[in-house]
Structure 1
């Protein structure tokens, strides 16, 4: 809960700060909702060929026009991340419920610079701040049960991460938009005082989604 509160404060502060600098008062700040699919994994010199975890993201978004073609876009959303420890082939006698996932779930707060190339089509890039809200191993990710929660006392994964996010989106006149994005961790995944402190590991997430601006 503490991490969630911190994330909301950062998002609100970013929104108020940039809104005060709005040099294009003819265009109002827009707010919206978004959701989509995550394909996440862990990358680094010490991690090779990990299967990605498929999960979801959902949250809130704002767009603050600075000029006709340039905006600042702060967001706050829940993001299911991590990777597959073991993935069973569909031709196996077992089904996909036998997959084992290492789940790392975050509240993510990106603050993106958004440049419109043509009407509706934009590219986005900027920093993203992640607050870990859940860590567990799930042996039955497609059904109930199978969850083994890892407490903060037993975790080697940092509670906070910084990433770089970049993507492209298209917003229709109705306010509906579609987007694709990739985020890559800038900070190491593991705590500096853990057994894995020298292990090179960073979050990497590809996202596709839809949303609506009001």
Structure 2
């Protein structure tokens, strides 16, 4: 009888101890899925910053290529390296599902490098670099689904407002710059850009997170509709959820 009473007492104490532990702030049940644990938390805020590799795709690039071919020159298109930074709000909806609206500053555009086909100065090997420097305010609304312990995928729409758009033209030969000018080119570019964005990431238990994604522009950046040209952005970031 004493042994039975002792076993009951031990079992009861373990149950009470476990129940008390679950009520403690920050308690994590090891038998509960990671994403479910996260969804039980309240609405949280975070910050994020990272690198953009931006480019254009569409008729503008083909038209430039055709023009260069006719003139006998050559050029190559490169991604513009920029950065983006901003904040977000994580809103738990269901176990394993969050909605994450955000607001961030983002640098986009493209880079063209080539040679001017001038026979008189061909020996100078004249090089030209044209950089489109677009600055946007991105407003993504992401659905984030946890698929493992910290791993998640995300996707959603994104509306961007064009803050400024400049074109920098550089030309030089023999190590000297003959041209180095920057022009304001916001006029003629669409103020609002709509895109689909998605990617994957990992969130650590301390709130630190990393992610990689891609923005696929849906509407032409040309406000006049003369050319169908779209933003394309590869991005990677680090962030922290408070």
TM-score, structure 2 normalization = 0.66
Q: Secondary structure at the match of 2:41?
A: coil
Match of 2:47 among 33, 58, 74: 33
In the TM superposition, residue 146 of structure 1 has moved relative to its aligned partner by 4.2
Aligned to 1:133: 163
Gaps of 5+ in 2: 1-37, 63-75, 116-123, 171-179
How many angstroms apart in 2 are the aligned matches of 1:159 and 1:171? 34
How many angstroms apart in 2 are the aligned matches of 1:148 and 1:46? 19
In the alignment, structure 1 residue 203 sits paired with structure 2 residue 238:
no
Aligned to 1:158: 190
Higher helix share: 2
In the TM superposition, residue 121 of structure 1 has moved relative to its aligned partner by 0.5
How many angstroms apart in 2 are the aligned matches of 1:199 and 1:68? 45
Aligned to 2:202: 170
Match of 1:63 among 56, 66, 90: 90
In the alignment, structure 1 residue 117 sits paired with structure 2 residue 155:
no
Q: Using a 3 Å threshold, how does the CA distance of structure 1 residues 118 and 134 change in structure 2: closer, same or farther?
A: same
How many angstroms apart in 2 are the aligned matches of 1:25 and 1:138? 47
CA contact (8 A) 2:100 2:143 kept: yes
Aligned to 2:103: 76
How many angstroms apart in 2 are the aligned matches of 1:113 and 1:26? 17
In the alignment, structure 1 residue 148 sits paired with structure 2 residue 183:
yes
Aligned to 1:9: none
Gaps of 5+ in 1: 1-23
In the alignment, structure 1 residue 180 sits paired with structure 2 residue 180:
no
Q: Using a 3 Å threshold, how does the CA distance of structure 1 residues 120 and 204 change in structure 2: closer, same or farther?
A: same
CA contact (8 A) 2:107 2:135 kept: yes
CA contact (8 A) 1:51 1:87 kept: no
